[in-house]
Amino acid sequence: MHIHFIIHEHFEAPGAYETWGKHHGHTLTCSRVYKEEPLPEKLDDIDMLIVMGGPQSPATTLQECPWFDAQAEMAVIRRAIQVGKMVIGVCLGSQLIGEALGATFSHSPEKEIGKFPITLTEAGNANPLFAGFGSKLAVGHWHNDMPGLTPQAKILAFSEGCPHQIVQYGEWVYGFQCHLELTPEVVELLIAHSQSDLRRAGELRFVETPEQLRQHDYQEMNQALFSFLDKLTARYGG
């Protein structure tokens, strides 16, 4: 299986997604747009497109961030969905999926940085791909915004601070506002590039300190992600 990542910043790394892909011997390629690497022109040999997060938003312009072309990325996402590829968006990536399908992103009610529980909705509990999540699961968060909803979209999970944590846009298309891919190494990268946000840990109820972030165990959420990916790819391959 061939997985292609769109990576917006080096500190928004694939983390556990990459671990899972390597464990299964899949072919992993990427477009590191912060290094001006091109987006994929052909999707024929790509099975799964994973669009990672970043400090940008779908409204960020090329003038504001010269290496981030939201319109070009949304065009790739639309093509991947149209030809039936598996498409996963993480944080910014989830917002770009919604935008690509005509659903406008919005600000989340709360800024969330840390490890907090998400709760599966009725639709989430009914989706067999999420059987490994339980009704509640503590996962990583690092966001201000959330994805929009198309008429066909299903909200699969929410948190106290954000109502759109996991969204299913189609049979093979999922947006994760939350970060199940976090590892201690990725968290250290994010901490180093989020100092202004982390200074608000004392005033915002869903923003943790660097010390709290370092104390968490991220393995349970990683295992839940692996379970989802195993089930998704088995169904897709079948």
Is the distance from CB of 183 to CB of 12 less than 8 angstroms? no
Cα–Cα dist 225/215, whole Å: 20
Nearest CA to 2 among 46, 52, 42, 43? 46
pLDDT, position 105 = 98
- Is pLDDT at 202 greater than 90 in this prediction? no
The string of pLDDT tens digits covering residues 152-171 is 999 999 999 999 999 999 99
DSSP symbol at 163: S
Is the distance from CB of 155 to CB of 166 less than 8 angstroms? yes
- Give the mean pLDDT of the chain: 97
The string of pLDDT tens digits covering residues 206-233 is 999 999 999 999 999 999 999 999 999 9
Tell me what the mean pLDDT of segment 197-212 comes to.
94
Is the distance from CB of 158 to CB of 119 less than 8 angstroms? yes
Record the pTM: 0.97
Question: Which residue's structure tokens are 């406008």?
Answer: 104
Backbone φ, ψ for residue 41 (5° rounding): -85, -40
pLDDT, position 2 = 98
Residue 197 corresponds to which tokens in the numbers above?
Answer: 């946000």
HSE-up (13 A, CA, CB side) for residue 181: 25
- Is pLDDT at 238 greater than 80 in this prediction? no
Cα–Cα dist 101/188, whole Å: 33
Which residues neighbour 132 within 8 Å (Cβ) at sequence distance 6 or greater?
223, 224, 227, 228
Q: Which CATH architecture has domain 2-237?
A: 3-Layer(aba) Sandwich (3.40)
Tell me what the mean pLDDT of segment 23-28 comes to.
98
Question: Which region holds residue 91: left if phi is over 0, alpha if psi is between -120 and 50, else beta?
Answer: left
Backbone φ, ψ for residue 112 (5° rounding): -125, 120
Is the distance from CB of 5 to CB of 31 less than 8 angstroms? yes
pLDDT, position 199 = 92
The string of pLDDT tens digits covering residues 72-91 is 999 999 999 999 999 999 99
